[in-house]
Amino acid sequence: MNTSAESASTLDAGSGTNGRADKPPTVSTRTWTLLAAIPAICLWLSGPPTGFWPAALIALTPLMLIANMDQRISKRRYLILYLAGFAYWLLALQGLRFAHPLIVPMWILMAAYLAVYPLLFVLALRAFRDRPLMLALLSPVIWVGGEWVRNYLLTGISVAMLGHALAEVPIMIQIADLAGTYAVSFVLTSCSAAGFALIRWYQLRDSVNSKRLFVPFMIAIALVAATTWYGNYRLGQPLQDGQTTFALIGRAESIEFEQNEERSLELFHGCLRQTAQAVQSANQSLDVVVWPESMFTAGLPWIDGQASPQAADKLEYTPEQLNELCEMRRDQFLFRASSIMQNLAIMLPENQTLPDLMVGCAVVSYETGIDGYNGLIHLDSEGKVVQWYAKNHLVMFGEYVPLLTSLPVIKHWIPDGLGLSTGKGAAAMQVGEATVLPNICIETAVERVAINQLRELRGQDNQPTPTVIVTVTNDGWFDDSSVVQHHKRCAQLLAVACRKPLLSAANNGPTCWIDSCGRIVEEVQQGQEGTLIARPQIDSRQSAVLTFADYPAAVCGLAFLGTLVISCFGVRHVF
């Protein structure tokens, strides 16, 4: 018998005399370390700042080779595999450490948590360690299932999904309207599976059944061909010209977690000056000017609704006193907004109309207690509040701390701003001829948030369907790190999944105009200031994601969890 055939596992149960083959030769610690490091290196190369996307095509192949090893894998070697993933996530998310000293341990903990998923991928595939064909065929399902789990567990983290590696390859990401970024991850994992299958075919080339290992290779070719055809078809479809003009304010301000009032006013006046310049220099009427997250607050949040007796009692006021105070603060807010509009009207070129404002601003409500929201407020051309949206998906350890209210002893360790309340549901804002779905910051980086909001609005009677997603963000926390580019990639794939153009106004972040095919139409370079004038096209195409949500990925998630259980508890030689 040929040596390569002797050293390999059988292709399928029953393909040998007893359904199994001789064990492959053991690998050295050096080889094992190399196999563990290659995925981390490839994933890092495929993401920002390098953006070498071809590395993503083979990133998972070494993990499949590890899973296919028949011998016991020691805990030490699993540790090496885990540490490689940990190093990758530390590098990918290292920009988080700039936000606040308290975030540094959270950054390390997040990297430690996310490093578990490549390890779980290997453990799940170990259920098929003696069936390389089955392992190759199921690996895309298992990987996507793992991504689905991490998109929900611990509030969910969608950043740096495998599919995001192709954000700058428009023809390959159009399938995101079928199943979200998961679809792109599925195709990329199939390519890695094809690489694994070819390696195993070479090792088993003299085996009777080795040709079966061409099946994953042919499937990968078919998937790439179908993805390319679909992408070319979608990119060639005409879109309707939009009638609404947006001015996106991009700032490059340094940020501190706890800012004094003087600094907050500086940020406010910086955006105000840029707004005035945009209105003066525009050669067309602007329908709306969009400010980045939180920049409009400047010590004067919008106070919504009437105060409850409970809130008054907690603040040691009578209900009448608190309501009087709230009314006074509302009047101050509206006076400031109307003054801004009056000054803009003076600067307005002849024959142009005054724009609305959509501004990132804190909102406070005393209706059921004391609630502070990270908000996006729509002000009309007279400075009146038309509508406001409260951020639905908060940043853990950035805007809230789990168990904070249950463990008051730790409150004095936590800086102000880490006790925000969660918004309740989606909003649709009418601006000119466009209907806007507002999002704030991380909500575009957790793909399901905007998708579920669009599905929610679509199910409401007499509710106009949003035609554009507008997000405001403040990425100044992350300095000029690659976290900002990861955020932009998430937005690109989200635009395709929803088939909606996406406009982002950011501080030191992705101030950009993304069309409904995920292409960057125009952007302000990171670390620079600028104003984008955008008139996004209307995309009336249907997205399967808005009909079926992430149910296909949920099926993969169940397969991931099921095979993980079988592998860990039902099969020997996993450890």
Catalytic residues: 293, 391, 441
3-state secondary structure of 291: coil
Strands 288-290 and 356-365: parallel
DSSP characters for 133-151?
HHHHHHHHHHHHHHHHHHT
CA 86/CA 97 separation, integer angstroms: 15
Distances (CA, A) of 301 to 113, 264, 297: 36, 12, 5
Residue entry with tokens 């061409």: 214
My answer on whether omega of the bond before 48 falls inside 30° of 0, hence cis, is no
The most distant pair of C-alpha atoms in the chain lies apart, rounded to whole Å, by: 93
Q: 455 has which bridge partners?
A: none
Would you call 225 exposed, middle or buried from its count of C-beta atoms within 10 A (0-12, 13-18, 19+)?
Answer: exposed
Contacts of 51 (CB under 8 A, 6+ apart): 168
> In angstroms, how far is the first alpha carbon of the chain from the final one?
30
Question: What backbone torsions phi and psi does residue 435 show, to the nearest 5 degrees?
Answer: -110, 120
CA 490 from centre of chain: 4
CA 273 from centre of chain: 31
CA 395/CA 279 separation, integer angstroms: 34
